[in-house]
Amino acid sequence: VDADAAWADEVRRLAERRDAVVLAHNYQLPEIQEIAHHTGDSLALSRIAAESEASTIVFCGVHFMAETAKILSPDKTVLIPDARAGCSLADSITGAQLREWKAQHPGAVVVSYVNTTAEVKAETDICCTSSNAVDVVASIPEDRDVLFCPDQFLGAHVKRETGRQNLHIWAGECHVHAGINGPELAERASASPEADLFIHPECGCATSALYLAGEGAVAPERVKILSTGDMLHAAKETKAASVLVATEVGMLHQLRKAAPDIDFRAVNDRASCRYMKMITPAALLRSLREGADEVEVDEETAARARASVRRMIEIGK
Ligand code: 13P
Ligand code: SF4
């Protein structure tokens, strides 16, 4: 038995002993994605966490994801293999900043991306993820102002799709996705004129892709702005022989599994999230052995955040 097989056996044995379900985000290391009971995007994993009958959830992802699972299931034990796995996007707005922004727009509906802290969610009316952000905003009566935070690129995507002028957007960003830039995308796309472009809406290059399509530099039907989960559906449907992927590089693992005949290439192969990669095989093993790191959200904050997260998992089902 080689080391990897021994590791996998031990992870499975400990997970069973703890009555734990292991969830992994699409950006996790391939070995973590393979050992998990479920792999998916933020929305799919939130739904699975809410419906799971296991008494423990081991969340292989970043802290706000594990926190969201705890908000939905306060009676379950929620573990993250390394509590230091944060998110630069979630750090781009605090609860105090959101309270101040709300005070400037009385009566506005607050829509927060799930990439936020529990404190921000507690100040939010409806949370969303990249797969249902457009549906969430479209569900709000036209005459109400909307405050959308924290991601400016996802906000711009929602504004384009809904045509909504009363959508105010916070200027936050994810350092990984913002770093996948327009000139890089244009260069890759012109070198592979036959490739589809799968672009995550958090990317700085999403606007450039639409601009390239508008200018006729890229065929408009080749440009697809998709959440990580929707990229997998699109991979199974596309007729293209190659796809340029603009998101965190962990995504390539599931895409290649879903459509082995397609040549998937990263637009920027340095787009790796160091927080996601803190969940190493050794960290997962330690987590299951020691029951650490446990994620806690104080009762009052969780109670206030729960309604906005529940709305998120209901919309776009
Ligand atoms: P999705 O899986 O919802 O597309 O989210 C991407 C992301 O950046 C999570 O951190
Ligand atoms: Fe946060 Fe960006 Fe990492 Fe996703 S990729 S967890 S948004 S820092």
244 phi, psi to nearest 5 deg: -95, 130
CA 2–ligand 1 middle distance (angstroms): 33
Q: Is residue 304 one of the residues assigned to a domain?
A: no
Atom of ligand 2 nearest to the CA of 177: 2
Residue 22 pairs with which residues in a beta bridge?
A: 58
Clarify whether residues 261 and 187 are in a common domain.
yes
Q: What is the pLDDT of residue 217?
A: 85
Q: What is the pLDDT of residues 56-87, one digit of tens each?
A: 999 999 999 999 999 999 999 999 999 999 99
Clarify whether residues 224 and 242 are in a common domain.
yes
Q: What is the pLDDT of residues 102-146, one digit of tens each?
A: 999 999 999 999 999 999 999 999 999 999 999 999 999 999 999
Atom of ligand 2 nearest to the CA of 174: 2
The amino acid occupying position 180 is: I
| Residue linked to tokens 């995007």 | 41
Q: Is residue 313 one of the residues assigned to a domain?
A: no
Q: What is the rounded distance in angstroms from the CA atom of residue 86 to the CA atom of residue 116?
A: 10
Question: Residues with Cβ < 8 Å from 140, sequence gap 6 or more?
Answer: 109, 111, 126, 146
pTM exceeds 0.90, yes or no: yes
Burial class (CB in 10 A: 0-12, 13-18, 19+), 137: buried
Q: What is the pLDDT of residue 1?
A: 58
Ligand of minimum distance to the alpha carbon of 312: 1
Task: Please determine, for the modelled complex, whether the ipTM score is greater than 0.95.
Answer: yes
Which residue has the CA at smallest separation from atom 5 of ligand 1? Answer: 42
Clarify whether residues 98 and 132 are in a common domain.
yes
Q: What is the rounded distance in angstroms from the CA atom of residue 7 to the CA atom of residue 140?
A: 48
Clarify whether residues 94 and 82 are in a common domain.
no
CB 55 within 8 Å of CB 77: yes
Residues with CB under 6 A from ligand 2: 62, 87-89, 115, 174, 176-177, 248, 273, 275-276
88 lines ligand 1 (CB under 6 A): no
Q: Is residue 307 one of the residues assigned to a domain?
A: no
Question: Residues with Cβ < 8 Å from 129, sequence gap 6 or more?
Answer: 41, 42, 43, 46, 113, 114, 227, 312
| Domain that includes residue 166, residue range | 90-173
Averaged pLDDT in 10-residue chunks for the chain of 317 residues: 87 98 97 97 92 97 97 97 98 98 98 97 97 95 98 97 97 96 92 95 90 89 94 97 97 97 97 98 98 97 97 85
